[in-house]
Amino acid sequence: MARYRITSYRYPSEEGILALTLLLVVGVIIFTATATFCTAGIFILLMLVVVYFMNKSHHENLIRQAQPIRSETMPELYQMVKECAERLQPGPIESFVAGSSQLNAYTFGMSDPKIVVLYSSLFKIMDADEIRFIIGHELGHVSLGHTWLNTLIGGMAGIPAPMGAAVILSAAFMWWNRACEYSADRAGLLACGSLVKATSALVKLGTGKRLSTQAEMDRAMAAVDKEDDDITNVLGEMLATHPLIIKRINELKKYAATPEYTRLQAEISRG
């Protein structure tokens, strides 16, 4: 299993975009008078210290306010998380359910254990396999290093710079974030083992609806399919950390049709 943990399902462009982002940061430092390597390093170090303590505080708040996913209190969900972790090998994690009307899940942490948080509203509209996709997506972020890299690269992209350079760095950072989402979606697909369920989970995230019947799902899918026909959505995506839902679905379809996915799914299913 060690050979698929880091690279095998990573979206091909992710590492290249990350390298370009880092080069842009260095370029801004070199070609502007707003920072030196020394001051930039101090800025990033201070940012990491601040984020570390913010993460620690957030973790403590979760312990007080959210429900930890444990075998004694949430046996079915605990088993789901355990099975997904066995498939994706993210390393030490703690998982929580937080009350919220938002449809969301996220992970954070610069050191182990990383924290995975699922919002309670997910369980109102998604079935077990769709939840597995969501869990696998978040564990993919952990396995591929996005959880701590996001903190580091985000801080580097936030180095004080002239407006034009700052916009470029921010755009590059969000471009990398969108590539990370494609990678994490692949992890979600590997976790749930069903392209149909991965697709329906994404459609539900995009529409915010339960979609109990196939007719409802078909109508929602038709609406999602039109997202990239609107130039406003396409331009808006450039300023977002997540790709359009239809693009995520189409990328998953491409990946699911590859021999690599078939081989990898069979390998991790054997355990």
Kindly give the pairing relationship between strand 114-119 and strand 67-68. Answer: unpaired
Task: Taking residues 125-153, report their average pLDDT.
Answer: 94
Tell me the CA distances in angstroms from 57 to 50, 54, 156, 242, one per residue in order. 11, 5, 22, 26
For helices 214-225 and 195-207, the axis angle rounded to 10 degrees is 70
Closest by CA to 118, choosing from 69, 82, 177, is 69
Statement: residue 10 has pLDDT above 50: yes
Closest by CA to 81, choosing from 96, 67, 66, is 96
- What confidence tens digit (pLDDT) does each residue in 196-250 have? 999 999 999 999 999 999 999 999 999 999 999 999 999 999 989 999 999 999 9
Looking at residue 96, what is its pLDDT?
Answer: 96
Looking at residue 270, what is its pLDDT?
Answer: 81
Half-sphere exposure of 62 (CA within 13 A, CB side): 23
Looking at residue 2, what is its pLDDT?
Answer: 45
Tell whether the torsion through CA atoms of 230, 184, 204 and 59 is positive or negative. negative
- What confidence tens digit (pLDDT) does each residue in 236-251 have? 999 899 999 999 999 9
Phi-psi group of 193: left, alpha or beta (phi > 0 → left; psi -120 to 50 → alpha; rest → beta): left
Q: Provide the greatest CA pair distance for the chain.
A: 59
Looking at residue 161, what is its pLDDT?
Answer: 67
Rounded to whole angstroms, how far apart are CA atoms 47 and 98? 27
Looking at residue 80, what is its pLDDT?
Answer: 98
Statement: residue 34 has pLDDT above 70: no
Q: Residue 38: pLDDT band by 50, 70, 90 thresholds?
A: low
- What confidence tens digit (pLDDT) does each residue in 148-204 have? 988 878 766 666 666 677 788 888 899 999 999 999 999 999 999 999 999 999 999
How open is the CA angle 20-18-190, to the nearest 5 degrees? Answer: 145
Looking at residue 159, what is its pLDDT?
Answer: 67
Statement: residue 41 has pLDDT above 80: no
Torsion, Cα of 226, 227, 231, 233 (10° steps): 170
Phi, psi angle pair for 115, to nearest 5°: -110, 130
Closest by CA to 88, choosing from 185, 14, 1, 181, is 1
Q: Residue 119: pLDDT band by 50, 70, 90 thresholds?
A: very high
Half-sphere exposure of 74 (CA within 13 A, CB side): 16
Looking at residue 36, what is its pLDDT?
Answer: 60
Which residue has tokens 């972020």? 141
